[in-house]
């Protein structure tokens, strides 16, 4: 701190000799290359290992078991319902939050994003404490004859809770990125607000909305902790694929591997399908 600040060209000189610049650039590229290699190896190795250990035949035969098949069906159904609910209920809210300024809008966005950083166990406890039989709304739900714990509906609630923020923050960012002229131009032409939302904003934001949907769906398919704590685990009713995998892990490791491979295939298929869906139509700009 006592030395005077560097004023001369000694540090960070951008005009060194061409050779030195080349070396510097080469090192930079090497560091970048190393970074992507390490990241790629780290992220793909576990997935590769699952498929190294599971032959395609084993993967197919794992589908034959009634437990796997029921878990797969339940996972697809509950995650589809949860994500559909999130999209239908959440999209207008994300649009409002992105296009109107009001006091506390940043706080609202932060609250919506909060479940992202909550551990699944906290999500499970929170759902029990709010919607469980002894929870804040437990009495009201019971009076309305709505039971969530130990029911498929409870799985949907848990999946929606953990996956919603992934979609909503993406939707918010997508709507916020729309240039105001598009909206204002449409309004100036006399198009009503609901029509502007449906026929201008949503089509422009569509690629990002679909990307958010894919992320949310993937998260819902993989949800474990909150589902177990809130909805429990029972074959055919609340046991989704991740719960079935954990069940098999302690009794039959190869079966757990096969089921994991199945979940990878299903999740990848969901991701790919959604990606293919959004490529044909480009945003009209």
Residues that bind another protein (CB under 8 A): 1, 128, 132-135, 138, 149-150, 228-229, 232-235, 237-239, 246-247, 249-251, 253
Least distance (Å) from another protein to the CB of residue 44?
A: 20
Dist CA 208 CA 91 (whole Å): 12
Task: Quickly list H helices, the chain.
Answer: 18-53, 56-64, 66-99, 105-117, 120-131, 138-143, 152-176, 180-188, 193-196, 202-222, 225-231, 241-249, 253-278
d(CA 136, CA 13): 63
- Nearest distance from residue 238's CB to another protein, in Å? 7
Q: What is the DSSP letter of 198?
A: I
Cα–Cα dist 79/164, whole Å: 11
The sign of the dihedral angle between the CA atoms of 20, 22, 24, 27 is negative
Minimum separation from the CB atom of position 224 to another protein (A): 10
Is 99 or 235 the residue whose CB approaches another protein more closely?
A: 235
Q: Give whichever of 221 and 245 is closer to another protein, judged by the CB atom.
A: 245
Least gap, CB of 237 to another protein (angstroms): 7
Specify the residue, 1 or 43, whose C-beta has the smaller distance to another protein. Answer: 1
67 and 244 Cβ atoms separated by less than 8 Å: yes
At closest approach, how far in Å is the CB of 66 from another protein?
14
Q: Which two tokens stand for residue 267?
A: 């999740």
Q: Find, among 211, 216, 218, the residue nearest to 270 by Cα.
A: 218
Q: How far apart are CA 243 and CA 39, in angstroms?
A: 28
Q: Considering beta carbons, is residue 97 or 245 the nearer one to another protein? A: 245
Which 3 state secondary structure label does DSSP give 201?
helix
The smaller minimum CB distance to another protein, of residues 92 and 138, is found at 138
Beta carbon nearer to another protein, 66 or 250:
250
Kindly tell me which of 159 and 215 has the beta carbon lying closer to another protein.
Answer: 159
Report the nearest approach of another protein to the CB of residue 4 (Å). Answer: 16
Query: Minimal distance in Å, beta carbon 248 to another protein?
Result: 9
């Amino acid at each position: 701190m006592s030395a005077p600040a560097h004023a001369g060209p000694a540090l960070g000189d951008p005009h060194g000799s061409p050779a030195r610049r080349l070396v510097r650039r080469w090192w930079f590229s090497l560091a970048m290359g190393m970074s992507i290699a390490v990241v790629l190896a780290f992220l793909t190795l576990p997935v590769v290992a699952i498929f190294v250990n599971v032959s395609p035949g084993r993967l197919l035969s794992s589908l034959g078991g009634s437990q796997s098949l029921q878990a797969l069906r339940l996972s697809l159904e509950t995650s589809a319902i949860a994500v559909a609910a999130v999209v239908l209920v959440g999209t207008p809210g994300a649009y409002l939050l992105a296009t109107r300024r009001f006091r506390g809008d940043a706080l609202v966005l932060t609250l919506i994003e909060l479940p992202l950083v909550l551990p699944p166990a906290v999500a499970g406890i929170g759902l029990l404490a709010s919607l469980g039989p002894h929870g804040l709304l437990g009495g009201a739900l019971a009076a309305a004859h709505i039971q969530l714990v130990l029911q498929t509906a409870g799985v949907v609630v848990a999946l929606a809770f953990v996956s919603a923020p992934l979609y909503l923050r993406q939707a918010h960012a997508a709507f916020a990125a729309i240039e105001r002229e598009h909206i204002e131009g449409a309004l100036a032409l006399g198009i009503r607000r609901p029509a502007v939302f449906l026929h201008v904003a949503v089509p422009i934001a569509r690629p990002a909305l679909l990307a958010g949907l894919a992320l949310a769906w993937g998260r819902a398919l993989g949800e474990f902790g909150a589902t177990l704590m809130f909805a429990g685990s029972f074959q055919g009713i609340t046991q989704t694929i991740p719960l079935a995998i954990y069940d098999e892990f302690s009794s039959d490791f190869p079966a757990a591997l096969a089921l994991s491979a199945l979940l990878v295939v299903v999740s990848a298929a969901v991701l790919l399908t959604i990606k293919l869906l959004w490529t044909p139509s480009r945003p009209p700009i």
